[in-house]
Chains A and B, each alone.
Chain A
């Protein structure tokens, strides 16, 4: 069907009833906007809609099919049972696990507690930073007082470094 005004294909179909009489109009998008003041937004073509849908769906599917190369646990399997298959899963699924961990642990994503002796010193918790800097500054003052400039220089560098790291 062609537009009543021009030769473009009619995509807007209006039915008006005036004084009991029915009028039908078939317009293209442009004429509908100009003549009738109907702002018709250009529709997303169906193929684009489909593509988006398929893409989004395949994204989920891809995520669900994500598999640990060590234990063969898939993300879908984990979501169903809630239990992981091996220690490597934490690295294999680390991206997807982050939001889950934050929900379960009051927003935390890093361990700050005990570490086995072989793992060396535990990761320094970030929120301890302020306390650490205060302590370092005190130590610096003592070092200067004792004229231990070598240690003071080390402390100064440590303070600079600590203060350069933005608060997370």
Chain B
């Protein structure tokens, strides 16, 4: 598999067919792991870092851990490829911008990605569409079990899995759920979500994780506590306490928009569709914002002639790196914005 093969379609997590997918975009679990006997990256020499990348890469590529793995050497990859992987949530922004020997292994229809030499030696990630935390845990736990005997992860009887940053210590787990909450944003009740999250010691972030703003009404909610709770407890809190509550808020907000502010709602959706179908210059942030309203319109049955899969595809393919890869050339400024607007018009016409 090559990187170019990814470009033209959406990954598993963006297909929009998982449970609760009208509100839950994706479920992601990642585990932070370090190889015993090798210093963490802050103190690893250039040689140690390179050797570690080779060792982990060879282990991952050796059958049968990850069939059909795509491995990207990020140190030597062009900027646009790194950006493409960020847009697909296969690597973090930090990993794209980092320095030194590092890479990523991608497998199983992009549900698995293993970052090597990010903040920890390994960051194992499983991402699935909709609310599929239990499935994601099963998948990542099995992968971790397979890797453990081959790589020997640093583990401490009292502290658990040892991580470079003590905030990940213990389970090394980060559970994140990406939510689409346009109605709560429109009714001004989004603060409720922030408060609920804060009460439960959860972090709320934007579309691309740490250090990103919420754009287009997408919010990523993740745990912060990793020590003193089991993985099952952390996941179960999300599954049974946090997410159902937020889904209820959003559904309630959608109903009240429909009952009390039908015209205002249809106006928002209609304007979004109108601009997407007619504009000639489009910035990617504006596209996210408009697609967000359109997505809500489709899910609420207010727009009938567009599939959700087209919208999900547009979310990804209109991002800067994807757009340039698809069109096969470097585009900047108004040229890029014009190309983006053309691309959207065509997709929405064909639909």
Contacts and interface: CB of A to CB of B under 8 A. Distances in A.
B197 to A, nearest CB: 15
Interface stretch (A22-30, A79-87, A135-143): A79-87
A119 B159 contact: no
Nearest to B168: A104
Contacts of B144: 114
Interface string B256-293: 00000000000000000000000000000000000000
B306 interface: no
A8 B127 CA distance: 82
A105 B42 CA distance: 23
A84 B230 contact: no
A107 B228 contact: yes
Nearest to A97: B166
- The DSSP consensus for interface residues of chain B is loop
Interface centre among B119, B169, B171, B229 (most CB of A within 10 A): B169
- The DSSP consensus for interface residues of chain A is loop
Contacts of B190: none
Interface stretch (B32-40, B177-185, B322-330, B342-350): B32-40
Interface in A79-128: 81-87, 89-91, 97, 100-101, 104-119, 123, 125
Given A84-B165, A87-B162, A116-B148, A110 B227 contact: yes
B228 A104 contact: no
Nearest to A110: B158
Contact of B42 (A85, A110, A115): A85
A123 B156 CA distance: 10
A71 interface: yes
A90 B39 contact: no
A101 B168 CA distance: 10
B42 A111 contact: no
A101 B171 contact: no
Contacts of B159: 90, 110-111
A108 B43 contact: no
B160 A113 contact: yes
A109 B231 CA distance: 16
Contact of B169 (A86, A101, A114, A116): A101
A85 B229 contact: no
B166 A108 contact: no
B11 interface: no
B132 interface: no
A119 B157 contact: yes
B149 interface: yes
A117 B201 contact: no
A111 B40 CA distance: 20
Contacts of A119: 155, 157
Contacts of A113: 160, 170-171, 173, 229-231
A90 B229 CA distance: 19
A72 interface: yes
Interface of B: 34, 36, 39-43, 119, 141, 144-145, 148-149, 152-162, 164-167, 169-171, 173, 201, 224-231
19 contacts: A71-B40, A72-B43, A83-B164, A84-B164, A85-B39, A87-B36, A90-B169, A104-B227, A105-B169, A106-B201, A109-B228, A110-B158, A112-B230, A113-B160, A113-B231, A114-B230, A115-B160, A117-B145, A123-B157
Interface of A: 70-73, 81-87, 89-91, 97, 100-101, 104-119, 123, 125
Given A87-B154, A87-B162, A123-B158, 7 more contacts: A84-B42, A101-B169, A110-B158, A112-B228, A113-B160, A113-B173, A115-B155
